[in-house]
């Protein structure tokens, strides 16, 4: 089955700096790559996703890049704000299942 | 508005008891999933269903079962609760095809004592 690895597990940045979270996957058939944000005590919610026919996607301060050849994708958050503090999960979809990374706890220091 | 809800939100039970966690969605989604969330493990798939009468085992299905008698509900049953099943459980649903957003319930925090 698919193996999704996510790094780093924890990340602290100063407010206004950028944050980058990276994921690798093993199944070349994976074709959908969502990112979820989970605030403390709340449910995971989709913040951005990308499909395999696209290399990069942006939504305001958030962007995702995908390198299908190398089997990795990354989440980029620019101009971080305290409300960006949360756990972020990457995921892939293959074989009609979602596979999640183990999460990155992001702390934005005011 | 469409939604997905779980009940109860918190549950404490004793070892050996049978426990059922409810999941109800009004999205009319065919796909429904149960995950458990534990520190250091992220979200691990317990069981999933692609439609009525369809159920499948995920990577951590031992000790759990599900049934799908209608589109809206996928209850998760712990046959004989064990302390290792203390966790936060999330239900999720998504439309077909699967390469679209999954919507999560609020989660159920289960403690087995």
Question: How do residues B76-96 score in pLDDT, each as one tens digit?
Answer: 999 999 999 999 999 999 987
pLDDT category of residue B100 using cuts at 50, 70 and 90 = confident
Best A2, A46, A57, A96 residue to mutate vs chain B (most B CBs within 10 Å): A96
C-alpha closest to that of B15 among B62, B78, B82: B82
Residue A82, by phi and psi: left (phi above 0), alpha (psi -120 to 50) or beta? alpha
What's the half-sphere exposure (Cβ side, CA atoms, 13 Å) at B65?
5
Helix (H, G, I), strand (E, B) or coil at A27: coil
pLDDT at res. A2: 87
Question: What single-letter DSSP state applies at residue B95?
Answer: P
Residue A106 CB: number of other CB atoms within 10 A?
21
Q: Please determine, for residue B98, whether its predicted confidence score (pLDDT) is greater than 70.
A: no
pLDDT category of residue B31 using cuts at 50, 70 and 90 = very high
Distance from CA of A16 to the nearest CA of B (A): 27
Least confident of A39-48, A92-101, B32-41, B66-75: A92-101
Mean pLDDT (whole number) for A19-37? 96
Say if residues A33 and A73 touch (Cβ distance below 8 Å).
yes
C-alpha closest to that of B106 among A44, A99, A40, A88: A44
pLDDT category of residue A40 using cuts at 50, 70 and 90 = very high
pLDDT at res. A105: 97
Mean confidence (pLDDT) of chain B: 94
Q: Please determine, for residue A53, whether its predicted confidence score (pLDDT) is greater than 90.
A: no
Length of chain B: 113
Residues of B with CB under 8 A from a CB of A: 33, 35, 40-45, 48, 50, 58-59, 90, 98-102, 104-107
Q: Please determine, for residue B99, whether its predicted confidence score (pLDDT) is greater than 80.
A: no
Mean pLDDT (whole number) for B44-69? 96
Say if residues A64 and A49 touch (Cβ distance below 8 Å).
yes
pLDDT at res. B52: 96
Distance from CA of A74 to the nearest CA of B (A): 17
Name the residue among A34, A98, A102 with its Cβ closest to that of B40. Answer: A102
pLDDT category of residue A95 using cuts at 50, 70 and 90 = confident
Task: Say whether the peptide bond before residue B3 is cis (omega within 30 degrees of 0).
Answer: no
Helices and strands (H and E) in chain A: how many:
0, 11
Pairs across A and B, CB distance < 8 A: 48
pLDDT category of residue A6 using cuts at 50, 70 and 90 = very high
Mean confidence (pLDDT) of chain A: 95
Q: What percent of chain B has pLDDT over 90?
A: 88
Mean pLDDT (whole number) for A78-98? 93
Q: Please determine, for residue A79, whether its predicted confidence score (pLDDT) is greater than 80.
A: yes
Name the residue among B42, B50, B102 with its Cβ closest to that of A101. Answer: B42
């Amino acid at each position: 089955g698919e193996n999704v690895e996510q790094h780093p597990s924890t990340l602290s940045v100063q407010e206004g700096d950028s944050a980058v979270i990276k994921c690798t996957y093993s199944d070349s058939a994976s074709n959908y790559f969502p990112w979820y944000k989970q605030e403390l005590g709340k449910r995971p919610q989709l913040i951005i996703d990308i499909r395999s026919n696209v290399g990069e996607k942006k939504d305001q301060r958030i962007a995702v890049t995908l390198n299908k050849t190398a089997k990795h994708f990354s989440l980029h958050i620019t101009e971080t704000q305290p409300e960006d503090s949360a756990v972020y999960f990457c995921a892939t979809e293959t074989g009609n299942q979602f596979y999640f990374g183990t999460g990155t706890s992001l702390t934005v220091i005011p | 508005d469409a939604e997905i809800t779980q009940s109860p939100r918190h549950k404490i039970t004793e070892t050996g008891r049978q426990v059922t966690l409810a999941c109800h969605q009004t999205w009319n989604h065919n796909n429904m999933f149960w995950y458990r969330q534990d520190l250091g493990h992220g979200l691990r798939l317990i069981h999933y269903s692609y439609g009525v009468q369809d159920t499948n085992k995920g990577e951590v299905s031992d000790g759990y079962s599900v049934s799908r008698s209608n589109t809206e509900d996928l209850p998760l049953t712990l046959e004989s609760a064990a302390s290792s099943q203390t966790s936060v459980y999330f239900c999720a649903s998504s439309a077909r095809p699967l390469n679209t957003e999954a919507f999560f319930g609020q989660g159920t925090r289960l403690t087995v004592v």
